[in-house]
Amino acid sequence: MRPILAALAMLIATPVLAQGARPITDRSEFVQLVQGRNLTRLGISLNVTGDGRITGSAMGRDVSGTWEWNGGYFCRVLKWGGKVIDSYNCQAVQLEGAALRFTSDKGAGDTAKLRLQ
């Protein structure tokens, strides 16, 4: 159970500066990128809506949460199978090809890359 929680925390978060990545600092640009699409990686599929909701699944359990744009960062609270993951965390977002890279702690923490589908 702990490895799954750690993986999910990183997802929704490996500190790196991605080469060829372009920062997304504007809420409207972020919404335009995610609206009507799923954010995916192995075992994970999330939908981030323009009205501040997050829904989906990870490792066979439901994911839900809320988000807001604050100071150029994607700030979210997530629940996985009813458990709160990391509480409120603001993340830097970068567009990297057909994926978004989320880096927790305003760009100073762990990173997760999710494909836009």
Please write the tens of the pLDDT for every residue from 107-116.
999 999 999 9
Please write the tens of the pLDDT for every residue from 68-84.
999 999 999 999 998 98
Q: Is 31 left (phi over 0), alpha (psi -120 to 50) or beta?
A: alpha
Cα torsion for 20, 53, 75, 12, to the nearest 10°?
Answer: -60
Residue 12 — very low, low, confident or very high, per pLDDT cuts 50/70/90? low
pTM for the whole structure: 0.82
* Residue type, position 77, single letter: V
Residue 85 — very low, low, confident or very high, per pLDDT cuts 50/70/90? confident
Please write the tens of the pLDDT for every residue from 22-69.
999 999 999 999 999 999 999 999 999 999 999 999 999 999 999 999
CB 33 within 8 A of CB 22: no
pLDDT at residue number 86: 72
pLDDT at residue number 17: 46
- Scanning the chain, the segments in alpha helix (DSSP H) are 2-11, 27-34, 104-107
CB 86 within 8 A of CB 104: yes
pLDDT at 13 over 70: no
CB 17 within 8 A of CB 113: no
DSSP H/E element including 94:
strand 83-96
93, two tokens: 């977002």
Please write the tens of the pLDDT for every residue from 93-105.
999 999 999 999 9
